[in-house]
Structure 1
Amino acid sequence: MSELTNPVQASAPDVPGAPAFDPRTSRRAVASGTFGTALEWFDFAVYGTLSATLFPQLFFPSFDTNTAILASFATFGAGMVARPLGGIFFGALGDKIGRRNVLMFTLMLMGVSSVLIGLLPNYAVAGIIAPMLLVLLRFLQGFALGGEASGVQVLVVEHAPSAHRGLYGGILATGSPLAQTFASVTLTGLAMFLSKEDFSSWGWRVPFLMGVLLLVVGVFIRRRVEETPAFKESQKKAAESAVPQERALAVIAKKPGTVIKLVLSWAASAGLFWISVTYAVNYLTKELGYDNSITFGLLLMANLISIPAALLGGRLSDSIGRKKTMLLGLTMQGLAAATMFPIMNSMNYPASVAIITLALCGIQVTAGTQAAFFSEALPTSMRYTGSALGMTLAGLFFGAPIPFVAAWIFQHTSNGILALTCIGLGLVVISVIAVLTLPERYKQSLHGEH
C-alpha cells in the first residue's frame, strides 16, 4: 500500500488551490474510521445473529415459536428505523459544525448502548420491561450508527488524496466484514465451549460487554484525527463570501433526485446483506436443522473470505470508475440471490458456504466503492447529510423489513423460497438502474460545489 505512505504523493494538493493532504492525518483518519466501523458493525452483527437464534426465547417466551421469531426480528428492525433519524440529526450537525466532533459522540453512544444490552435482564427476571428496554437500547444503537456509518465515510474520503479515494473507502469498508468475522469467531467459540444453558444465561452477554474495551480504544484513536480539509475549505469560502450557511436538510430541497438515486443504488446491498447474515442463519438452524455452531462457522468463513473484496472494490473503482465497479458487485449479488436457497436446501455444506460467500463478496465490492461514490455525488456543504440519508433510508426501506418479511413469507406461503428469491432479484434490478443514472465523478475534485 505505497499509496498510503508515499509522502510526496499523499501530501500533494488534490487540485490547484485545494488544501494539501497530510499523509499522517490521512492514515489516522482511515485507521479511526475502520476501527469505529468494526466496533459498531460488530455489535450489529452479534445482535442480528442472536435475534435469529436466542433472543426469541430469552425476551419473548410467552409467544409461540413463530410469533417469537417475528417479534425478535421486529426489535432488530427498530435499530434500522432509528438509523435515518440518526443520519438526519447527526448529518445536519456534521455539515454545520464539522465531522470529527460529531463522530466522537456517535462512537460513545453506540458503545454505551451495546454494553447496556449486555447487562439487560431477560423476560424471566424483568417481565415485559426486558423487551421494552431491549427495543429502546436497540433504537439508540441504530440512532448512533445512522450518524456514524456515513459520517466516518465522509471523514475518510475527504482526508484521502484524489487518486485514492476509492482505496481509502475500500479500507474503511473492511471494518464491516472484519466485525462480522470477529462476531462469528466470538459466537462460535462461546457456542462450542459453553453448554446451551450457560450460553443462554450469560454467554451471549460477553460480546456486548466487550464493547467497553473496544470503545476505549476507539475514542483514543479518534481523538487524534483532525477535521477534514474539504470541510475547512467549505467553511472558509462560506465565511469569505458572506453567503449564509446552508440550512439543515437543504440537500432534500436542492438535491432530492440525487438522494433518491443514492437510496435505490444501495437497496440490493442493504437487503441481501440481511438475507445472507440474518435470515439465512435462521433458515439453516430452524428449517434445515443445522447446529448453531455450524451456522456461526459458516458465517465466519464467508465473512473472512469477503474481506479482500472490499479492498478490491475500492481499488478497482479508482481505476475503472465507481459505476462499473458497483455494477460488478451487483452482478455478483444477483447470481447469489438467484441460487442461495436452492443451494442451501441441497444440504451441501461447502456449497452453502460458497453461495453465502458470493453474496457477501458482491456486497463488499459495492461497499468498497460506496463511500467515494456517495461522497462524489454531493457538494461538501450537504455531503454528510445526503450520504447518511442514502445509506440509512436504503437500510430502512430495503434492509430492516427483510428478516421480518422473510419469516412471515415462509410461515404463510407454500413457496417462500421463490418469493424471497424474487425479492432479492428485484432489489438488484432497482439498484442497477439507479447506479446507471448517477453521475461518474471519480476523476473530479471534492473541493467545490457541483
Structure 2
Amino acid sequence: MSKEANHAADSTRSMAQRAVSAATLGTALEWFDFTLYGSVAATVLPKLFFPSMEPSSALLASLATFSVGLAARPLGAIICGYFGDKIGRRNLMLGTVSVMGITSVLMGLLPTYAQIGMLAPVLLVLLRIIQGFALGGESTGGQLMALEHAPSNRRGKYSGLIGMCAPLSQILANAVLLVLSATMTADTFLSYGWRIPFVMSFLLVLVGIYIRLRVSETPAFVQMKQSAVGTLGSPLRDAFRLHWKTIVRMMLFFCGPTALFYLAVVFTLGYLTNSLGVPKQTGFTLLMIANACAVVGSIAGGLLSDKIGRKRTLLMASTATFIIMMIYFPMLGTRSFAMMALAMGLFMGFTQVQTGIQPVAFAEVFPTNVRYSGSALAFTGASLFAGGPIPVVATWLLNLSHGSPWPLVALVATLNVLSFCMIAIGPETAGIDMNRLDSTDDVIGNHATNANQATL
C-alpha cells in the first residue's frame, strides 16, 4: 500500500473514531439527563411538584411528565429527520446537544410548587417537551454520524459502543444520586441535592460541542448530495411513501426492548421502594449493578452481530428476555439482594443486547436519502407507544390488580412476542452497502406524483 493510501486509511479511521466519540458523548448526555429525570420522577418530584395529591396519584402525575418528554420525540424526529437528510447530520447534532444541556440546567433551577404554585408543574412539562423534541433528533443523528463513518465490518461494534451509553449513563446518574442521598439528610436532598447533577450536566454539553466541531460530514451524505436523488427528493415524504412498511416493522420490533428498558430503569425503582419496602439506597445500588450488566450486554450484542449477523443475535436475545420476564417479579419479591441483583442484571443485560444492535439495524435498513427520517420515525415511534407510557401503565396496572404484577407481565410479554415476530420476518442487513440510495426513478416519480396532486 502506498504512503498516500496509508495516510488516507489512517485519516478515515481517525474520523470514524471521532464520530463514534461524538455520538457516544451525545448519547451519554441525553441518557444522563433522562436517567436523572426518571429517577427523581419516581422518588422526589411527586412531593415537590404535586404535593396536593394523594401519594399514588402524585406518583402517576410525576411519571406522566416523564412520558410527556417521550411523547414530544416524534415531532423532533420528524423535523430533525427532514433537515438531517437535507442539510446533513453534523450541524444538526450541534444544535440538539446544546438544547438538551440547556433544558437540563433549567430543570435543575426550576422553582417548586411551594414557591410558585401551579406554574411549577406547567414549566416542568414545558421543559420536558423541549427536551423530548431535542432528543427526538439527537438519538438518530448521533447514531448515523458514527455508523456512516464506520468500516462495514465494525458497524456492530460501533453500534454496541453507542448503545452502552444508556446504561453507562444510568450508572453515573444513579451513582451521583446515591452519593448525594447518602451524604445528605433527606430534607437537604429534597431541598436542593437532587438539583446538582442537572446543573452540572452542562459541562458535558461543552465537551460534546467541541468534539462534534472536529467531525466531518459523513461520506454517505456527501455522496448522496452529489446525486439527483439528493437534490430532488423530499426525505420525509419519500420515507413515508417508499418505506412505510419498513418504518412500521422497525418500530414494532423496538417496542419490545423499549418497554423492557423503561420498565427496568423507571418503574422498577418505584416498585422496589414503594411496593416492596426496599430502601432507596439499595434500589439505586441494584440499578447500578443491572446497568453494569447492560453495558456488557450492549457491547457483546454489537460484537456478536458482526460475527453471526444482526437477525440471529436479536432473535436469541428476544427469546432470553421473554423467559426472564416470567420470573422477574417473583425474584424481586424475595427481597433478597442477591436474587434481586441477578434478576435485574439478566433482565437488563439481554434487553441491552437488542438495544446495542438497534442503531446499526435501523441505519442499515434504510437508504441514505431517507435514513435519518426513517430511522428517527421508527425509533421515536417505539418510544412513544411502548417507552413513555410503560411506567404510567405499569403503576396503573399494579394499583388495579392490588399489587399483583402479572397483568403487567402479560402486557410486556405480548410486546416481546411482537418484537420477536418483527425480527423474524425482517432481512439480514450485516455488510449491506451504506451508500445506497433509492433509485432515481422512484424518487423522481414520487416527486412528480406529488407535484401533479398539488396542481390538481
Fold equivalence (TM over 0.5): yes
- Within 5 A, what are the aligned runs for 1:239-254? 244-254=232-242
| Correspondence for 2:208 | 218
Q: For the residues of structure 2 that align with 1:448 and 1:247, how far apart are their CA atoms?
A: 15
- Within 5 A, what are the aligned runs for 1:64-213? 64-213=54-203
Q: For the residues of structure 1 that align with 2:124 and 2:244, how far apart are their CA atoms?
A: 34
1:343 aligns with 2:328: no
Q: For the residues of structure 2 that align with 1:39 and 1:249, how far apart are their CA atoms?
A: 31
Q: Is contact 2:16-2:150 (8 Å) kept?
A: yes
| Correspondence for 2:368 | 380
Q: For the residues of structure 1 that align with 2:127 and 2:374, how far apart are their CA atoms?
A: 26
Measured after TM superposition, the shift of residue 305 of structure 1 is: 2.5
Q: Kindly tell me: are residues 203 and 313 of structure 1, through their superposed partners in 2, closer, same or farther at Cα, counting changes over 3 Å?
A: same
Measured after TM superposition, the shift of residue 369 of structure 1 is: 1.1
Q: Which residue of 304, 312, 329 maps to 2:300?
A: 312
Runs of 4+ with >3 A deviation: 7-12
Per-residue Cα deviation, 1:12-49 (whole angstroms, up to 9, x for no partner): 6xxxxxxx970110000001111111111001011011
Q: Is contact 2:230-2:369 (8 Å) kept?
A: no
Per-residue Cα deviation, 1:365-384 (whole angstroms, up to 9, x for no partner): 11221111111110100000
More displaced 10-residue stretch of structure 1: 249-258 or 63-72: 249-258
Per-residue Cα deviation, 1:215-273 (whole angstroms, up to 9, x for no partner): 111111111111000000111122xx796133434201111100000001101111011
Q: Is contact 1:249-1:385 (8 Å) kept?
A: no
Q: Which residue of 406, 413, 420 maps to 2:401?
A: 413
Aligned length: 435
| Correspondence for 1:447 | 435
1:258 aligns with 2:258: no
Measured after TM superposition, the shift of residue 336 of structure 1 is: 2.5
Q: For the residues of structure 2 that align with 1:285 and 1:91, how far apart are their CA atoms?
A: 39
Q: Is contact 1:10-1:161 (8 Å) kept?
A: no
Q: Which residue of 339, 342, 351 maps to 1:363?
A: 351
Per-residue Cα deviation, 1:281-309 (whole angstroms, up to 9, x for no partner): 11100011111111011111111222121
Amino acid at match of 2:147: V
Q: Is contact 1:21-1:161 (8 Å) kept?
A: no
Q: Which residue of 256, 259, 277 maps to 2:265?
A: 277
1:403 aligns with 2:391: yes
Q: Is contact 2:235-2:370 (8 Å) kept?
A: no
Q: Kindly tell me: are residues 114 and 122 of structure 1, through their superposed partners in 2, closer, same or farther at Cα, counting changes over 3 Å?
A: same
Q: Is contact 1:10-1:23 (8 Å) kept?
A: no
Q: For the residues of structure 1 that align with 2:7 and 2:258, how far apart are their CA atoms?
A: 33
Measured after TM superposition, the shift of residue 9 of structure 1 is: 9.3
Q: Kindly tell me: are residues 242 and 356 of structure 1, through their superposed partners in 2, closer, same or farther at Cα, counting changes over 3 Å?
A: closer
Amino acid at match of 1:26: A
| Correspondence for 1:294 | 282
Q: For the residues of structure 1 that align with 2:230 and 2:397, how far apart are their CA atoms?
A: 56
Q: Kindly tell me: are residues 416 and 253 of structure 1, through their superposed partners in 2, closer, same or farther at Cα, counting changes over 3 Å?
A: farther
Q: Is contact 1:265-1:430 (8 Å) kept?
A: yes
Per-residue Cα deviation, 1:91-150 (whole angstroms, up to 9, x for no partner): 111000000001110000100000000000111001000000000111111111110011
Q: For the residues of structure 2 that align with 1:305 and 1:412, how far apart are their CA atoms?
A: 32
Q: For the residues of structure 1 that align with 2:48 and 2:206, how far apart are their CA atoms?
A: 29
Gaps of at least 5 residues in structure 2 are: 439-456
Q: Kindly tell me: are residues 156 and 9 of structure 1, through their superposed partners in 2, closer, same or farther at Cα, counting changes over 3 Å?
A: farther
Q: Which residue of 379, 401, 408 maps to 1:391?
A: 379
| Correspondence for 1:61 | 51
1:329 aligns with 2:317: yes
Q: For the residues of structure 1 that align with 2:50 and 2:257, how far apart are their CA atoms?
A: 30
Measured after TM superposition, the shift of residue 414 of structure 1 is: 3.7
1:39 aligns with 2:7: no
Q: For the residues of structure 2 that align with 1:117 and 1:55, how far apart are their CA atoms?
A: 11
Q: Kindly tell me: are residues 249 and 45 of structure 1, through their superposed partners in 2, closer, same or farther at Cα, counting changes over 3 Å?
A: farther
| Secondary structure, aligned partner of 1:22 | helix
Measured after TM superposition, the shift of residue 390 of structure 1 is: 1.0
Amino acid at match of 1:54: V
Gaps of at least 5 residues in structure 1 are: 1-6, 13-19
| Correspondence for 2:20 | 30
Q: For the residues of structure 1 that align with 2:190 and 2:35, how far apart are their CA atoms?
A: 18
| Secondary structure, aligned partner of 2:233 | coil
Q: Is contact 2:85-2:235 (8 Å) kept?
A: no
Q: For the residues of structure 1 that align with 2:112 and 2:376, how far apart are their CA atoms?
A: 33
**Percent of aligned pairs with the same residue?**
40
| Secondary structure, aligned partner of 1:248 | helix
Amino acid at match of 1:448: R
Q: Is contact 2:235-2:369 (8 Å) kept?
A: no
Q: For the residues of structure 1 that align with 2:343 and 2:206, how far apart are their CA atoms?
A: 37
Q: For the residues of structure 1 that align with 2:312 and 2:344, how far apart are their CA atoms?
A: 23
Q: Kindly tell me: are residues 247 and 173 of structure 1, through their superposed partners in 2, closer, same or farther at Cα, counting changes over 3 Å?
A: closer
| Secondary structure, aligned partner of 2:311 | helix
Q: For the residues of structure 2 that align with 1:349 and 1:193, how far apart are their CA atoms?
A: 22
> If the length of structure 2 is used for normalisation, what is the TM-score?
0.93
Measured after TM superposition, the shift of residue 415 of structure 1 is: 6.0
